[in-house]
């Protein structure tokens, strides 16, 4: 195994013995190896793959395809019945909810317990305790027994622990399915940062999360490797396979592809003609907007402070509910704590995976004529735009105030998840964002003569 390989799996197989009654299990213990009182069930057969240092590999597959078994073998909690799994470096894992936690211990005691299990010393854990508690962010519950926690709190604590043990290999199994939007954003930020230095094995049903986060994907089907390759290709194959299973194989087109005419209307103001219909239907993009959270994760020199972030109607009322396609204003109030020569205020909309969707800042608008702020001044930046059509899910708006130029500036305050909004229903399903289309035509063509 070269030093670059951190996980090396060679012909991994795992068979479970299924006994009809407990008595058969006892008989087998004393029987000669030739007699078999069990049926064998192969959870994994002949799975081989390599993971290099720093790679992120996703594992996808339907329920029961052997994903979790494979992860357990990688972590060393299960022995393969065939083949060999070699790993190099400290592994931290979130395999199942609350795994490795003792329900009667308090959150703090469980942090120590988990730390010892992973191999940290008492001093090392004490040094990390504050950071872990801050990441988990469950307040006084840290002193309560784990059995009083909600599932969301257990995941928070589990993630906080594995995020702080300096693991070289991180194994995450479906852990992000629970947990609120702000915490998922925090985890995604952590995973993106972790990818820079460590190796990540990531299991999820969410193929867009997998294809976005992972370099390569291993697709397991009934315990065998169905595909292993670049994440985009494998995820597409997998989705295709899921659809085929649901609606039968897709038919190949043998006739020449008919062209679909598109009307082109030039010059008219941007207006999606379907909007009126969509807005009146159940496909309307309904967006629920949550309150500004000034306590959300942030960084910066703090020479200025973000005082408030709102989504408003162009006339100025604060919105708690918006509809895709509507014109809205993102309004950001900043307060200068020290004098700022040429402040820039900006925002960035991210989806649930932490991908940057769109955003803008005041630099181009104000760079010829910068708005100078004295200490104590308050200024308001307003960004008016048509809300795009977004697929359902949680979104976050990061806002920032800086001083200087776009290329060379001092970040005074950057709040990661200043505002969370949730898209409840939408006509968009398969893309990151929908743009208002001017028109769509679909007409029968005269047959060519």
Residue from 40, 104, 126, 240 in contact with other proteins (CB under 8 A): 104
Separation between Cα atoms, residue 159 and residue 156, nearest integer Å: 5
- Nearer Cβ to other proteins (178/228): 178
Separation between Cα atoms, residue 1 and residue 3, nearest integer Å: 7
Separation between Cα atoms, residue 158 and residue 138, nearest integer Å: 12
79 binds other proteins (CB under 8 A): yes
37 binds other proteins (CB under 8 A): no
Separation between Cα atoms, residue 142 and residue 133, nearest integer Å: 8
108 binds other proteins (CB under 8 A): no
DSSP 294-320: TTSSEES--SEEEEEEEEE-TTS-B-S
Q: How many residues bind other proteins (CB under 8 A)?
A: 31
27, two tokens: 């008989």
Q: Find residue 425's DSSP bridge partners.
A: 286
Whole-number Cα distances in Å, 191 to 185, 234, 252, 419: 10, 21, 40, 21
26 binds other proteins (CB under 8 A): yes
Per-residue contact string for residues 58-77; x = within reach of other proteins by CB under 8 A: --------------x--xxx
- Nearer Cβ to other proteins (169/289): 169
1, two tokens: 């195994």
Separation between Cα atoms, residue 6 and residue 57, nearest integer Å: 12
307 binds other proteins (CB under 8 A): no
261 binds other proteins (CB under 8 A): no
101 binds other proteins (CB under 8 A): yes
91 binds other proteins (CB under 8 A): yes
Separation between Cα atoms, residue 42 and residue 159, nearest integer Å: 31
Q: Classify 382 as helix, strand or coil.
A: strand
Length reported for the chain: 449
Per-residue contact string for residues 1-20; x = within reach of other proteins by CB under 8 A: ---------------xx---
203 binds other proteins (CB under 8 A): no
CB 208 to other proteins: min, Å: 28
> Which residue stretch of 56-64, 89-97, 209-217, 278-286 sits at the interface with other proteins (rule: CB under 8 A)?
89-97
Per-residue contact string for residues 152-191; x = within reach of other proteins by CB under 8 A: ----------------------------------------
Residue showing tokens 């708690």: 320
Q: Give kind and range of the element (H or E) at residue 422.
A: strand 409-425
22 binds other proteins (CB under 8 A): yes
25 binds other proteins (CB under 8 A): yes
* Binding interface with other proteins (CB under 8 A): 16-17, 22, 25-26, 29, 72, 75-79, 91, 93, 95-96, 98-102, 104-105, 109, 112-114, 116-117, 121-122
């Amino acid at each position: 195994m070269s030093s670059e390989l951190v996980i090396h799996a060679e012909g991994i197989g795992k068979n479970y013995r299924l006994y009809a009654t407990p008595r058969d299990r006892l008989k087998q213990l004393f029987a000669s190896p030739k007699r078999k009182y069990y049926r064998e069930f192969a959870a994994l057969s002949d799975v081989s793959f390599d993971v290099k240092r720093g790679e992120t590999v996703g594992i996808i597959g339907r329920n029961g395809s052997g994903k979790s078994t494979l992860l357990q073998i990688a972590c060393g909690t299960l022995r393969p019945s065939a083949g060999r799994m070699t790993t190099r470096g400290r592994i931290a894992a979130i395999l199942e909810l609350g795994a490795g936690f003792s329900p009667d211990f308090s959150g703090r005691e469980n942090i120590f317990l988990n730390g010892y299990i992973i191999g940290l010393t008492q001093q090392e854990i004490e040094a990390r305790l504050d950071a872990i508690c801050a990441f988990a962010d469950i307040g006084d519950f840290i002193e309560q027994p784990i059995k009083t926690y909600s599932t969301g709190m257990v995941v928070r604590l589990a993630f906080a622990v594995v995020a702080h043990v300096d693991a070289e290999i991180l194994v995450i199994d479906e852990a992000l399915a629970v947990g609120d939007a702000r915490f998922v954003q925090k985890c995604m930020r952590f995973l993106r940062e972790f990818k820079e230095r460590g190796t990540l094995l990531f299991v999820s049903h969410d193929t867009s999360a997998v294809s976005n986060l992972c370099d390569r994907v291993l697709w397991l089907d009934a315990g065998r490797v169905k595909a292993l390759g670049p994440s985009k290709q494998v995820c597409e194959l997998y989705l295709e396979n899921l659809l085929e299973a649901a609606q039968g194989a897709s038919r190949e087109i043998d006739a020449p592809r008919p062209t679909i005419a598109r009307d082109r209307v030039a010059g008219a103001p941007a207006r999606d003609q379907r909007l009126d219909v969509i807005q009146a239907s159940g496909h309307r993009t309904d967006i629920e907007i949550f309150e500004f959270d000034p306590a959300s994760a942030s960084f910066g020199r703090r020479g200025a402070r973000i005082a408030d972030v709102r989504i408003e109607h162009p006339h100025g009322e604060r919105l708690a509910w918006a509809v895709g396609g509507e014109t809205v204003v993102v309004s950001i109030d900043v307060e200068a704590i020290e004098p700022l020569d040429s402040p820039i205020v900006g925002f960035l909309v991210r989806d649930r995976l932490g991908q940057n969707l769109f955003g803008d800042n005041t630099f181009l608008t104000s760079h010829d004529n910068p708005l100078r702020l004295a200490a104590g001044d308050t200024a308001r930046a307003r960004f008016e735009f048509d809300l795009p059509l977004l697929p359902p899910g949680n979104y976050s708006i990061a806002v920032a105030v800086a001083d200087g130029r776009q290329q060379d500036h001092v970040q005074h305050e950057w709040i990661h998840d200043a505002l969370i909004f949730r898209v409840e229903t939408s006509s968009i399903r398969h893309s990151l964002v929908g743009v208002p289309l001017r028109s769509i035509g679909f007409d029968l063509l005269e047959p060519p003569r």
